[in-house]
Homo-oligomer: A and B are copies of this chain.
């Protein structure tokens, strides 16, 4: 039986140990769009003692996976890009809201802005997924 958006995201999140390590919380979702939140920890800094660019990338990439798969079709990231626009530091609370730019039978394109607790944009992400055609099922 086909899973609902909620069941798909819950299933993915339960298996997604990386998103768990990041402390990602799902604020909201619809097919094609999710809103996520996380708090940056000390252990996430890079060689400049600011948050590693990979952290905002991970958050956005998880949002991409949840957004695309919530349509009910197993979908894999094929190309992503991220612009780091503002420093992120320990204690910052990041939120991301995805937006579906385009959805065809085989390809989905998404973009999302990552904001900090002061509502400043800290990163902009774009992602393209391949839609396998295989349904998420029980």
B61 touches A47 (CB 8 A): no
Complex: chain B residue closest to A22, CB-CB: B54
B83 touches A46 (CB 8 A): no
Interface residue tally for chain A (C-beta within 8 Å): 52
As a 0/1 sequence over residues 15 to 51 of chain A, the CB contacts with chain B under 8 angstroms (1 = contact) are 1111101000000000000000000001111111100
Q: Chain B residues near A107 (CB, 8 Å)? A: 78, 130
Q: Chain B residues near A13 (CB, 8 Å)? A: 47
Protomer copies = 4
19 other contacts beyond A52-B61, A78-B79, A85-B109, with CB at 8 A cut-off?
Answer: A15-B45, A15-B48, A17-B43, A18-B44, A18-B55, A19-B47, A47-B66, A48-B65, A52-B62, A54-B54, A57-B58, A57-B61, A79-B79, A79-B109, A80-B82, A81-B126, A85-B102, A102-B121, A124-B126
